[in-house]
A and B are shown apart, each in its own frame.
Chain A
């Protein structure tokens, strides 16, 4: 059967693959995105296992009009509302494990339905710290990123990218991809025996971090320095384009586009982990933001398109 579709005009700012898996315009609600929280499957709905990283306190996501004290309402790129990730006003040093609340994290829970092949995540986003003090605060944003959490017949793997904006107040402005160093599961989980997270899983907060911005969970993208548009005041946000193209057949990165810059990632691979129980076919996109100082930072997403199939 041949389909003839009249596409939403707002899709023209994306370039999806053949099959659109989801199109999330946050003027229509949160579209299935939810806070990330641990598994409350223990006694009295507590977690079963101890983890060095407390994942119960990540800042909540919300529908935002991007409103500010002096500017009023920014709205979103296509209307009024975006999805906002907001950290709590607490942060630790970069080289320590993230403290409770220093990140905010959104996730959408999917399973795959297409043959293995190309998959793509696109979003229009903006970011800023809370304008709770005078001055310009670009360096209060430590990092933001996006990933797919995938489990196929043989492996589970995280495949995604992070923009490392600042480390302990010093600007870095470089892109990295999820790729774990050759460390043990014990080292990966900050020395905690029998942690849920094995090497390569949840690099957003696992894996040792070093002062130069490197970590056991990420690899630098060659020539990955990029000045993003931050503007001249914490209440002026500019919508920017992000696109990550991956290949689930080869289990490798293909391309990262940020604004008009395209990074060729062919040949770079994520870290493969033995499959977990009960999550076969998992295809979860996730986004997160991390602060660098004791203040809230905000990451706004106007819209997201996830697609698969041929280009």
Chain B
């Protein structure tokens, strides 16, 4: 039977500037899905552009190549990754006028 963990890596945080999620170790897993759950959005032309990042050490991060479509409104969004070594996080860029997103980042790992 495979192992599985669903982790609420970031729980209902409000972000107004670029941010990164908590570094998670995932070396045991062979597949991952990041979920971004947006509950509230405010500001004009508020846009959240999020990409998956990997790392050699959990401290220095580089782009993995997987990105979410731009987010403008509340909802559930997901991105899949399957080749990532040990470390995983998402990095979000926020643009707009006085933008704010109340969101959670969940990571589902299986392997």
Contact = CB atoms under 8 A, between A and B. Distances in A.
B91 to A, nearest CB: 16
Interface of B is mostly: loop
A30 B28 contact: no
A64 B28 CA distance: 8
B12 A56 contact: yes
A63 B11 contact: no
A184 interface: no
Nearest to A69: B57
Interface string B1-23: 00101011101110000000011
A29 B9 CA distance: 18
Interface string A129-141: 0111000000000
Interface stretch (A81-89, A106-114, A243-251): A81-89
Contacts of B8: 35, 37, 60
A65 interface: yes
B49 to A, nearest CB: 23
A64 B11 CA distance: 21
B28 A81 contact: yes
Interface residues of A, number: 25
Interface in A39-68: 56-57, 59-65, 67-68
A265 to B, nearest CB: 35
Contacts of B56: 69
A65 B27 contact: yes
Contacts of A132: 59
Nearest to B5: A30
Contact of A57 (B11, B27, B58): B11
A63, A65, A130 interface centre (most CB from chain B within 10 Å): A63
A130 B11 CA distance: 22
Interface string B71-111: 00000000000000010000000000000000000000000
A156 to B, nearest CB: 26
Contact of B22 (A30, A56, A81, A88): A88
Contact of A63 (B12, B22, B28): B28
A81 B26 CA distance: 10
Given A37-B11, A131-B59, A132-B59, A59 B86 contact: no
Given A35-B7, A65-B25, A69-B56, 17 more contacts: A37-B11, A57-B13, A59-B22, A60-B8, A60-B9, A60-B22, A62-B5, A62-B7, A62-B24, A63-B3, A67-B25, A67-B86, A86-B22, A88-B22, A130-B59, A131-B57, A132-B59
Interface of B: 3, 5, 7-9, 11-13, 22-28, 56-60, 86
5 contacts: A29-B5, A37-B8, A56-B11, A60-B9, A69-B57
Question: What 3 pairs across the A-B complex have the smallest Cβ distances?
Answer: A69-B57, A64-B25, A29-B3
